Structure 1
């Protein structure tokens, strides 16, 4: 709206029909004034004629009907001047020009048009256009006062509107900010639940791996040794010929114990590894990471000892968790490579990166995941290499030596 707008509602229907209502009211009063005071009867035809033309002009050429706002207002100004000249009571219709001028004219024409309407309205105050010097002075003073009052009120209304618009914008921004905060809180709650679930799962996996390692390295190995020693003694003739029920029972119990140990080791394998190979388990973890992850496998896939497979699977989980939480990456690649003498696991992302030298020393507490990876890999004689720089993504390379050839499980 222009600088002198004083229409606080600015409803199209109000602006469309208000001029007609004011014109009708002014006409009724003007005709009544003429008939009651019994003067100016000769002007009645002109009053009716100009009023009819003005009403037609409003109906046909109003800006709500035709796109000629400047032309409409110029003709409306001339017709208003003529009507006030015919009867001062048409000042009732003249004042609405203060409202229409800012709405229908370019800003550069608003002040001249407002001044012209002030002159017309002031003429109605003094009973018509002035004919003496004194009346001319009074007319000009009233016009200046009317213009100043309209300008002041307009500025007050415009300032109030600007404040309302500013408050509306602030409220809209606050609404958007609150919505983003709610979305962030929901996302954080989901991430926290995911991290808690992964931490709980990691604890279970670590305990399973520890128990599997204990059974593998102690009970299963001992039973295997007993069975092999008995077989060697039997083949070497160290055992006396004839019935030997106790030795046979020892061998049978050892074999049963070894079978039970193998069953326990299979049961202790992580859920993802149960009935699946390590590449399949890694692919399942990647699908649940919450971001695009490409998994590749190179070399001849072979079964690793349970503790090694658990460590590699846990390393992938921890690495993808770190990427989701800190990296802001759009692409992640996981590569599992089987060499003859080693197995390597690469996890690479295109995220924000970091300074590897600061791991474990950052104030925000990050870096502990990498420390846990190193400790877990060290338990199976593995190692972890971290390559990263700010803005250049991150690459983690976990390496495990070739598994023992002893077929225990």
Structure 2
């Protein structure tokens, strides 16, 4: 029966004013009926007195201002019963008891109170409380019918509210489930990225192992043999004094190449990056280019995966070699930019330029610089863009993605 309450549709102030409005309306109708029918005029003073008492009780002792809900309801129903006995039109005021009972009474008292309200309201239907056996029967039947109707409506309202509560609960559960699903999908995306990264790293490690074997069996062995031959020539005195500086330079270059090969065998990491940062390594390479190179670094410098740093450093080396050999440039600019999700490397020169579409491998085996750069960058999911034209210099932009940590 609590479903008949007005908790969901009104504020306490409305509950306080509604009984007074209904009482005033019932009083006005009763007075008009008395004057029209010219009957019951003698009851007007009593009717006004009880109505005033009822209004005062409703205003002063309403549960919104006094914590006496049961007492309020009992007195309010008793005064209503008296008013209906004085004038049946106060049934207009009586029906509001159906609304107040579930709001102000414990659940165990709601049905009995509803039955009392039904009996009072049914008395107004037959013009007052019954005075004959027939009217008593009619009154009881009407009371039972009113109670049954109110009970049925209350059950329907209760069921409707339970369904609304269930729908709200299911919607809340669905929202929570969707949130968990989104979190799971985000976690799966992270795992997928991690797996791709691990697979790429595994492939890189396999390639490093293969290259290490090839370097050990070819380049390192050849450099070691060259050094041994140069040492033997120096000890044997087979060279003129004028050739000794060249012999010394060749020995230094061979030893440096061997040291680099051994570093590659250990970690395939260029010597410039040993104990250094990528910007410092690029600056060191630029200083040895033989041309004036301006190096700039933008963004927050951070350590990249070793394979990415190696690729970027090798790209700078190859680009500077190409500029030195072919561009006839007077100015070279190198910019390393750290973005949140990527790192870019720009190499620009004011040289003679070329047509990128016509560059490729030549018959003598040269011309592989751009192809090698692209292949290196592709191994780390990077990309290379070349902008150039004859007489307009060259701009080379290498980009590698960075997975946010």
TM range (shorter): 0.5 to 0.7
Deviations 1:138-196 (A, max 9, x none): 11111111111111111111111111111111111112211221222233223323433
The CA deviation at 1:243 is 3.4
Aligned residue in 1 for 2:354: none
The CA deviation at 1:260 is 2.6
Give the whole-Å Cα distance in 1 for the aligned partners of 2:135 and 2:238.
151
Aligned residue in 1 for 2:101: 101
Give the whole-Å Cα distance in 2 for the aligned partners of 1:179 and 1:21.
49
Segment of structure 1 superposing worse, 155-164 or 206-215: 206-215
Larger radius of gyration: 2
Q: 1:200 and 1:4, CA in 2 relative to 1: closer, same or farther beyond 3 A?
A: closer
Q: 1:24 and 1:264, CA in 2 relative to 1: closer, same or farther beyond 3 A?
A: farther
Q: Is the CA contact (8 Å cut-off) linking 1:6 and 1:153 kept in structure 2?
A: no
Aligned residue in 2 for 1:318: none
Aligned residue in 2 for 1:337: none
3-state SS of 2:70 partner: helix
- TM-score, normalization: structure 1? 0.59
Structure 2 unaligned runs (5+)?
277-302, 307-405
Q: Is the CA contact (8 Å cut-off) linking 2:23 and 2:55 kept in structure 1?
A: yes
Aligned residue in 1 for 2:240: 243
The CA deviation at 1:200 is 3.1
Q: Is the CA contact (8 Å cut-off) linking 1:102 and 1:110 kept in structure 2?
A: yes
Aligned residue in 1 for 2:9: 10
Q: Aligned runs of 1:3-402 on 2, under 5 Å?
A: 3=2, 5=4, 7=6, 9-12=8-11, 13-228=13-228, 231=231, 239=236, 243=240, 253=250, 255-263=252-260, 266=263, 269=268, 274-276=273-275
Q: 1:270 and 1:42, CA in 2 relative to 1: closer, same or farther beyond 3 A?
A: farther
Give the whole-Å Cα distance in 1 for the aligned partners of 2:92 and 2:130.
18
Q: Is the CA contact (8 Å cut-off) linking 1:220 and 1:258 kept in structure 2?
A: no
Pairwise CA RMSD of aligned residues? 3.5
The CA deviation at 1:112 is 0.7
3-state SS of 2:4 partner: coil
Give the whole-Å Cα distance in 2 for the aligned partners of 1:120 and 1:184.
62
Structure 1 unaligned runs (5+)?
278-286, 289-305, 307-409
Q: 1:246 and 1:274, CA in 2 relative to 1: closer, same or farther beyond 3 A?
A: closer
Paired residue total:
278
Aligned residue in 2 for 1:355: none
Deviations 1:49-103 (A, max 9, x none): 2212212222222222222221111111111111111110000111111111112
Deviations 1:265-324 (A, max 9, x none): 6576459x94449xxxxxxxxx99xxxxxxxxxxxxxxxxx9xxxxxxxxxxxxxxxxxx
Give the whole-Å Cα distance in 2 for the aligned partners of 1:63 and 1:213.
92
The CA deviation at 1:116 is 0.5
